[in-house]
Structure 1
Amino acid sequence: MPELPEVETMARDLKKAIVGKTIRKVWYDWPKMIHLELENGRRHLGHHPASRTMFGRKLRGLKVVSVSRRAKNVLIGLSGDHILAVHPKMTGHFLSGQWIMRGGKPLPASYGLSRRQAEAIREKVNSYIHFLLWFKDGSMLGYSDARKFGRIIFGAKEKVLGSKELSSLGPEPLGSDLDLPALRKILSSSRGRIKQMLLDQTKIAGIGNIYADEILWTSKVHPLRRANSLSDGEAKALFNNIKKVLTSAIKMRGTSMSDYRDASGESGGYMRLIKVYGREGEPCLRCRMLIKRIVIAARSAHFCPRCQRLA
């Protein structure tokens, strides 16, 4: 699943590619991912009869005025105080390219693209296009999602940001609202395992399985530790490493463990810096002890039993 660094990379790429452009046409073939937030507080899904015509009609003619990120959501601000909030879930990612429709399906085209980008767009992982935007300047934006779990919410900005999906989110880990005192308060009020706390989007927004493992390894904290058991020194180390790991991953344009690609169809580079995630049975890069993997509440956790002691 794309986590904060991957979604931040998506948002930055889209900001460069589509801000200032006007939507000419909309296409989608997986109605379940489309959510229409109505003014009366109700929500229509894409397969609702009214949504099939309403969604495209409402988006046509709107101008992209901003692109940002909230947790694992890409927020595309539109004229008229509207917004598209896109959560890529397991396998979703945006692509800036060109497609032609054949038999009701989009096929990648190479015109207007460099040879490298044209080759990347044709990679299998980038071929699961289920949502397309055409812009008046002739450019296009595609959304590829192999598992089709992604969610696209459209509506008035106030309504979408006030929806349960976004209003329940905790502070941004790289934002000013998560300082050391705030983190200590979250830790002291959390009785669960530290790994679970880091994954709880209502506590801290945007961290997922990969970066939780990396942060805990860097902080020398065992994933089974109770969050409220961390000392002041451990809490400070955790705070610093949340910032350090996520910032480094953003600089490397995310991690492509599976389907994630940037808007050019390219893989993220943080895989080269991974210390513990996915390295079960391999030697710890700090002490050479073999990395172990356990399951905590149906989620995997990778750690070094020597560097990250439980007791």
Structure 2
Amino acid sequence: MPELPEVETIRRDLAPALIGRRIVGLDLLWPGTLDRPSSRSQAEVLLAGQRIAGLRRRGKYLLFDLRSGAILVIHLRMSGRIGLVAADSPEPPHLRARLLLDDGSELHFIDMRKFGRLYVLAGAGELAELLANLGPEPLGGSMNLASFRERLSIRRTRLKALLLDQRFLAGLGNIYVDEALFRAGLHPLRSAAQLDDREAARLYEACRMALTVAINNRGTTFRSYRDGWGVRGGHKELLLVYGRGDEPCHVCGSEIEKVRIAGRGTHLCPVCQPLEPHAPASVATRTRRVAEIDAPYVATSEAAGSSQG
């Protein structure tokens, strides 16, 4: 599933090309793709003739602000992807919908598994209702270390399950939860409420860094993800634990394990992420080694939280 870094990469790619363009039509090839409103004709009324005024991201959702105040929302779910193509481009497999634009280009929504959804909303009130259960943005100004610590302290949930919960933080999924927990040196089965202040601070920074580095590498492609121009993300080869089961840990050389936690395949280093807290020396060693790995990819880091809505 595309997570925050992948959706943010798509947003950054498409915004310059789409803002100011006028929508001339919606071609819905699979009706189930449209979640709201209940009929295609209602969606067409809200979209037709409208210019795209802005393109935002909230968690894993893309938000297209229209001049009228209406909002087109796209959630890619498991296998969805979107891309901007010329009008004469061949129709790709699994094309579920396309937005026709005034310059002849088309925004394609492709989804092999048909889990992705489009929402055409009349205004901010409907958007607030749709996104009401989302937690704060990990990279946005609505969350700082103090609020993160407070949110952790009242939850007895295990860390893996908590970080996957979009009500706690918006945008993290299986890939970047595993990456963040490794960076923080925390076992996925640790209880959130049992973290001390130093551990909470490590996890806060680890979540932010895991996402920032992935954005700078334009996301992670295992199967279906492509950026706004149809190109694979560059972050897969730089993952620290996710997808690296049985391979050596980049920090200590131990074998990365893949286990099942919170119903999800979970990757961890049993040495770097013990169930018992680390000694300070081992924390410093891991932090230094991960910083060395990150160094080429954070020097030009952008402020990725600016797109939230």
Scaled by the length of structure 2, what TM-score is found? 0.86
CA contact (8 A) 1:213 1:302 kept: yes
Task: Give the counterpart letter for 1:195 in structure 2.
Answer: K
Q: Does 1:85 align with 2:51?
A: no
CA contact (8 A) 2:61 2:73 kept: yes
CA contact (8 A) 1:10 1:93 kept: no
Task: Give the counterpart letter for 2:76 in structure 1.
Answer: P
CA–CA distance in 1 between the matches of 2:29 and 2:262? 34
CA–CA distance in 2 between the matches of 1:301 and 1:52? 40
CA contact (8 A) 2:46 2:122 kept: no
Structure 1 vs Structure 2 CA RMSD: 1.4
CA–CA distance in 2 between the matches of 1:53 and 1:161? 20
CA–CA distance in 2 between the matches of 1:134 and 1:279? 41
Q: What secondary structure does 1:130 align onto?
A: strand
CA shift digits 1:112-170 (9 cap, x unpaired)? xxxxxxxxxxxxxx63211111111112111111111001111122233222x411100
Task: Give the counterpart letter for 2:34 in structure 1.
Answer: I
The runs of at least 4 aligned residues of structure 1 exceeding 6 Å deviation read none
Counterpart for residue 266 of structure 1 = 231
Counterpart for residue 26 of structure 1 = 26
CA–CA distance in 1 between the matches of 2:34 and 2:4? 22
CA shift digits 1:77-130 (9 cap, x unpaired)? 012100011110001111111355xxxxx834xxxxxxxxxxxxxxxxx63211
Task: Give the counterpart letter for 2:90 in structure 1.
Answer: L
Counterpart for residue 281 of structure 2 = none
Matches within 5 A, 1:1-311: 1-37=1-37, 44=38, 51-100=39-88, 107-108=90-91, 127-163=93-129, 165-311=130-276
CA contact (8 A) 2:33 2:96 kept: no
CA–CA distance in 1 between the matches of 2:226 and 2:93? 11
CA contact (8 A) 1:83 1:160 kept: no
CA contact (8 A) 1:26 1:133 kept: yes
CA–CA distance in 2 between the matches of 1:99 and 1:149? 26
CA–CA distance in 2 between the matches of 1:99 and 1:296? 45
Q: 1:63: Cα distance to partner? A: 0.6
CA–CA distance in 2 between the matches of 1:197 and 1:295? 15
Q: What secondary structure does 1:94 align onto?
A: strand
5+ residue gaps, structure 2: 277-309
CA contact (8 A) 2:52 2:67 kept: yes
1 or 2, which has the higher strand percentage?
Answer: 1
CA–CA distance in 2 between the matches of 1:133 and 1:202? 30
CA contact (8 A) 1:219 1:238 kept: yes
Count of residue pairs brought into register by the alignment: 276
